[in-house]
A and B are shown apart, each in its own frame.
Chain A
């Protein structure tokens, strides 16, 4: 079983020894090297898995024009900057930093190396070298589909939403879900729990139980593991997965899942870098651009499915917007005026909850 041979050994040592030279040897004819860093394991079944799938799609689309490396489980903070510099020193000239916590590291690396190009996921800071862009996708769009269907499936008029931390990305999802549900049922309530951890499946499952025990008969979550979906399956509560298709964890109760599709974005931006046409510009894609989609809607009555599909179509052709005013916050103040729409900046910085959300933002 032990495949210990000389070739292994020499191969490894030689590959390592040639490392420092790689950067200087790169010429225009060589494939572009593209580095990715992930905040967690690539097989977490959520956030990082989705990014890795996008990377694979990009590799497939661009073939021998590119080579790619990734580093997973990179802690946020100085380690991230070290790993980014490592990837640069190994010849990578396009770097994708795929988590908010990498932002300051990504900016520093972009400032330090004018010849590198950095794409920073969910960030908002620029680089003085004009070599950094921020990108994000419109997670909240899929949530309005789920909110619509949830209100139609619910008997109690109470849904649940499991959140990690009260960051704009999660808040805008909760609001989108609640706004859509209240269009179906004006008395709709969304119960929320902030579990205050990015990843702890056992706690996610317990929180899901707590929400269901308090009267929620439909739920969705913004957590990375499918633990909540499994709880819903065992309790017979309709649910919606996030990040990737989680129907295998809830064969009958997981009605659909939001899908983060980074592949098209990665392909387009990487190709631009290969072609020499890359320019710093922030991207914020949604259904229309194919960056967000939902898994097939299953095990629901036809009218529920049709209502969900209709909202999806509305997002695609631009006729639907969950954040079209008038929209009130929990205290009843108008936050988005009649006839107005939330701007991208409003959504990316959202720090208030709409009326109908039963719960508060921790101070």
Chain B
């Protein structure tokens, strides 16, 4: 007896949408069993992590705030992954975007006017895109693997941030604590719901996500990205430039990550400190996959991940569940999703005898 994968004639649309839901449900079940086995209230934990944030209406704002950067970075990465171009340095682009915007903020701290905030946002996008341009340049010029270069640049960005925040950008009135001064009123994103952090950036994020969905499914650009990703040789014949696509992907995803960074500075954080990098750039990779590389799916996936963050803290205060369990739940969810990915393009059969010698082929969309 062995498992046998049979390639489907066409990817299963049912599995495409069913597997993420299945992964979340399976995570809840398995998580409950694991945490019960090690002596915690397992079902209570699942309730707190996945359900309570939705059941408590005052948590909705928190979910939106937490989901926003994940979605904004995630949609950018989803475009790249569609083209089989792997930007895993979004965290670095997020940080550098935030730094660029904060730099403008520090320069304009004594000025007033409605132009300051937009300028900071643009600087954030430029900063993120510039950091993203480095792996694109390296790949197009020197054929450097973008996975490795973008990852390395993330750590360079972290140290750059640490240097600025502990050095020249330190709040002069802050008793040497490693953080910048709070931003001024002119630099803050408008809050949409009083008493929460629900800021204008969340709406912009949703508009961008929907716009990208439209572009990806309806425009020539979307077609180019998809063809380059799924059929590189066809793309060459069709006159689509691989190099151009690399630039497009990195500048776009870098700019969106940078925008997410400056949204965090001008929204919830209101300053930069050593604690500013929250691994949103890495988590967004998970979000992009959970959302099936579809911008609308990414919105949902970002919300699900945000729920586990918000719920993880609830589980800790209500049930004294250790903080580490948040990560276990998130990892389980991704494991199950990745494990079920294969069901989209393959049918699984149990067969008695070894299959005849298979003709190997690389799956096209990877």
Q: Which A residues fall within an 8 A CB radius of B? A: 1-4, 8-9, 11-13, 15-17, 19-20, 35, 41, 69-79, 81-83, 86-87, 89-90, 100-101, 104, 112, 124, 165-168, 171, 196, 198, 348-349, 351, 361-363
Contact = CB atoms under 8 A, between A and B. Distances in A.
B268 A77 contact: yes
B37 interface: yes
30 contacts: A3-B37, A4-B36, A4-B37, A8-B43, A8-B44, A9-B44, A12-B41, A12-B44, A12-B48, A16-B47, A16-B51, A16-B318, A19-B52, A19-B56, A69-B318, A71-B317, A76-B273, A77-B269, A77-B276, A78-B65, A78-B269, A82-B313, A83-B313, A87-B317, A90-B317, A90-B318, A165-B166, A165-B178, A167-B177, A351-B176
Contacts of B268: 77-78
A179 B325 CA distance: 46
Given A16-B47, A35-B317, A77 B175 contact: no
Given A72-B323, A83-B317, A348-B175, 7 more contacts: A3-B37, A12-B45, A12-B47, A41-B323, A74-B313, A104-B182, A168-B176
- Among B32, B55, B176, which residue has the most Cβ atoms of chain A within 10 A? B176
B352 interface: no
Interface in B258-300: 268-271, 273-276, 278
A189 B276 CA distance: 37
B177 A100 contact: yes
B39 interface: yes
B178 A16 contact: no
A4 B197 contact: no
B316 A196 contact: no
Interface in B158-208: 162, 166-168, 175-179, 182, 195, 197
A229 to B, nearest CB: 25
A89 B45 CA distance: 19
B42 interface: yes
B174 to A, nearest CB: 9
A299 to B, nearest CB: 35
A71 B326 CA distance: 13
Contacts of A13: 43-44, 47
Contact of A8 (B42, B51, B197, B274): B42
Contacts of B44: 8-9, 11-13, 15-16
A8 B166 contact: no
Contacts of A83: 313, 317
A35 B318 CA distance: 11
B142 interface: no
- Among A11, A41, A86, A348, which residue has the most Cβ atoms of chain B within 10 A? A86
Contacts of B45: 12
B120 interface: no
A75 B166 CA distance: 18
A167 B179 CA distance: 11
Contacts of A104: 182, 270-271
A73 B197 CA distance: 21
Contact residues on B (Cβ < 8 Å of other chain), bracket = 35 or more
A77 B33 contact: no
Interface string B23-47: 0000000001100110101111101
B62 interface: yes
A74 B176 CA distance: 22
Given A13-B47, A87-B317, A8 B36 contact: yes
B319 interface: yes
A89 B41 contact: no
A90 B33 CA distance: 27
- Among A13, A89, A351, which residue has the most Cβ atoms of chain B within 10 A? A13
A6 B180 CA distance: 51
A327 B33 CA distance: 63
A167 B162 contact: no
Contacts of A69: 317-318, 320
A2 B48 contact: no
A101 B269 CA distance: 11
Contact of A112 (B47, B65, B195, B319): B195
Nearest to A198: B274
A165 B176 CA distance: 8
B255 interface: no
A292 B179 CA distance: 28
A141 B179 CA distance: 27
Contacts of A361: 176
A203 to B, nearest CB: 13
A86 B317 contact: yes
Nearest to A12: B44
B90 interface: no
Contacts of B115: none
Contacts of B197: 78, 81
Nearest to A166: B176
B172 to A, nearest CB: 11
B162 A196 contact: yes
Nearest to A75: B275
Nearest to B47: A16
B44 to A, nearest CB: 2
A101 B313 CA distance: 18
Nearest to B39: A3
Contacts of A112: 195
B37 A1 contact: yes
Give 5 nearest A-B pairs by CB, closest first.
A12-B44, A78-B268, A73-B323, A9-B43, A76-B275
